[in-house]
Amino acid sequence: MISKRNAKAVSAALLMMGTFAAFSQEIPSLKNTFKNDFGIGTALNNGQIEERDPKMTEMIVRQFNRATPENVMKSALIHPKWDTYDFVVPDKLIEFGKKHNIKINGHTLIWHSQLPSFIRGIHSKDSIQTFFTNHIQTVAGRYKDNIFSWDVVNEALNEDGTLRKTVFLDYLGEGYLAEAFRLTQQAAPNVELYYNDYNNEQPAKRAGCISLIKKIQASGARIDGVGIQGHWHVGKVPLKDIEESILQYAALGLKVMFTELDIEVLPRNFQGADVNQRVASNPDLNPYTAGLPDNVQQQLAADYEALFKLFLKHKDKVTRVTFWGVNDGNSWLNGWPVRGRTNYPLLFDRENQPKPAFYKVIALKK
Ligand code: XIL
C-alpha cells in the first residue's frame, strides 16, 4: 500500500519526469529543424556564458548552433583602459562554443556606442588611429583561430543612408570603414567579416549600405556578409523591404544574415535600435505586465511565420538567423528604450517554454 503522503511524492516525481520528458523530447529543436537551411543563433549574456543555470545551458545547446555575445566583446567591456583588455568572459564564450559545438560571431570591433570611457579624453587623430589599430589587432588577433566571424563594423549609417557622425568618421574620415576590414583580415585571415546595422532593409539606408559595401570591396579589402539586425514591431514587419534587401545584398556576392532578431510588442514612438535613444517610463507604455493578450500573441506568431517563410524561400542566400536573447525574460527590450517593461519579443517565454510563434515557425518544415 502506498501511503497518501508517498502517493503525493510519487505523483510529484512523475510530474517532474513528465515535464522533463516534455522538455527534452517533445519540444522540437530550432537548430535541427533548420539544419539544412541556415544557422540558428542567440545572443548570450554573462550568466548564460558562465553556465550559471544548467537548465538554461541545456536549452541553449538544444536549440542553437550559433551565438553572439550580447555585450562582453564590445569595446567598453573588452578594452576598458588604453592598455588594458579584459578577456576573461570572452575566453569563456569561446570555450562554451567549443564544448557545445556552437559557432561564435564576435560582436563587435568598431562601433560608436558602448565605447570605453577613455575615448572621450582623446582629441587627436593619431591617438584615435592608434586605438583603432591596436583594438582590432589585439582583439581580432586573439581569437583568430577560434572565432567563426566578426561584426567588424556596427551601425555606421544614418537613416537616410549617409555616414553617421562618429568619433571614427570625425578623426579618420570615411576610409576607416575599409581600413577596419583590412586590419581585421590581416589579424584574422580565416575569419568571416561582416557589416552589421539596423533598418538597413529600409530603402534609403539600404542604398547607403550598398554603397558602403561597394567601397569596401573596391578598396580590395574582404567583406563576406551583411547583417540585418531585425529589431522589428509586431504587425509591422517590413517583409517586402526585407526580401528586396536579401536579393540586393546577395547580388553583391555577400552572405545575408539576420543578426539580432526580435519583434517588439510594446508601444513606442520611433523606429530603429539606437541604444542611446531613451524614453521616460510611463504605465501606458507597459500594458502587458499581467500577460500578453491572445490577439497580440497570434499576431506575433503570424509575423514570425511570415518571416521564416521568407528566410526559407531565400535559404540559398540567408546563412544565419540569430535571436537577440534566448527567452522573453532575457530580452534587452524589457529595459530599452523604456526601463522596466514586460516585453514578449522572442520565441520562448520567461520559463523557456515555446510560444505559439515557435510552433508556427517549426510547422513550416513539416
Ligand atoms: C544591446 C544589449 O542587448 C544591451 O544589453 C545593452 O545594454 C545595449 O546593447 N544593436 C546592437 C546590439 O548591435 O549590440 C545592442 O545590444 C542592441 C542594438
CA 152/CA 217 separation, integer angstroms: 14
Is 283 part of any domain?
no
Closest CA to 166 of 304, 276, 295: 276
Rounded to the nearest whole angstrom, what is the distance from the C-alpha of residue 230 to the centroid of ligand 1? 12
% of the chain residues with pLDDT over 90: 90
Instruction: Find the mean pLDDT for residues 174-178.
Output: 98
pLDDT bracket for residue 335 (50, 70, 90)? very high
Give a yes or no: residue 64 inside a domain: yes
Q: Nearest residue CA, atom 13 of ligand 1?
A: 154
Label residue 111 exposed, middle or buried (CB < 10 Å: 0-12, 13-18, 19+): buried
Q: Does residue 15 belong to any structural domain of this protein?
A: no
Q: Decide if 201 is catalytic.
A: no
Q: In whole numbers, what is the pLDDT of the chain averaged over residues?
A: 94
Residue 272 in any domain: the answer is no
Tell me, what's the pLDDT at 69? 99
Residue of 70, 75, 343 best suited for mutating to test ligand 1, as the one with most atoms within 8 Å of CB: 70
Residue 3 has pLDDT above 70, yes or no: no
Tell how far the Cα of 238 is from the centroid of ligand 1, in angstroms.
Answer: 21
Answer yes or no: 51 catalytic.
Answer: no
Cα–ligand 1 centroid distance for 28 (angstroms): 28
User: What pLDDT shows up at residue 209?
Assistant: 99
The CATH number for 44's domain is 3.20.20.80
Q: Is residue 55 a contact partner of residue 19, using CB atoms and an 8 Å limit?
A: no
**Contact assessment for residue 347 and residue 357, using Cβ atoms and an 8 Å cutoff:** yes
More confident residue, 4 or 346: 346
What is the per-residue pLDDT for 356? 98
Q: What is the pLDDT of residues 75-128, one digit of tens each?
A: 999 999 999 999 999 999 999 999 999 999 999 999 999 999 999 999 999 999
Q: Please report whether residue 99 resides in a domain.
A: yes
Cα separation, 137 vs 79, in Å, equals: 12
User: What separation in Å is there between the alpha carbon of 276 and the centre of ligand 1?
Assistant: 10
Chain segment 254-312, per-residue pLDDT in tens: 999 999 999 999 988 888 899 999 999 889 999 999 999 999 999 999 999 999 999 99
| Marked catalytic residue, from 155, 179, 201, 305 | 155
What is the pLDDT, as a whole number, of residue 269?
Answer: 83
Structural domains counted in the chain: 1
pLDDT at residue 321 in the model: 99
Q: What is the SS3 assignment for 228?
A: strand
**Residues framing ligand 1 (Cβ under 6 A):** 70-71, 154, 229, 260, 273, 275, 332
> What is the per-residue pLDDT across 9-40, written as a single tens digit (0 to 9) for each?
545 554 554 455 455 458 999 999 999 999 99
What's the confidence (pLDDT) of residue 26? 82
Distance from residue 309's CA to the centre of ligand 1 (Å):
26
* Within a domain: 209: yes
Q: Which of 89, 105, 275 to mutate to test the pocket of ligand 1 (most atoms within 8 A of CB)?
A: 275
Whole domain around residue 224: which residue ranges?
28-266+288-363
Q: Which of 70, 260, 264, 305 is catalytic?
A: 260
pTM of the predicted protein model:
0.93
Distance CA 266, CA 287 (A): 8
Is there a domain that residue 229 lies in? yes
Does residue 296 sit within a domain? yes
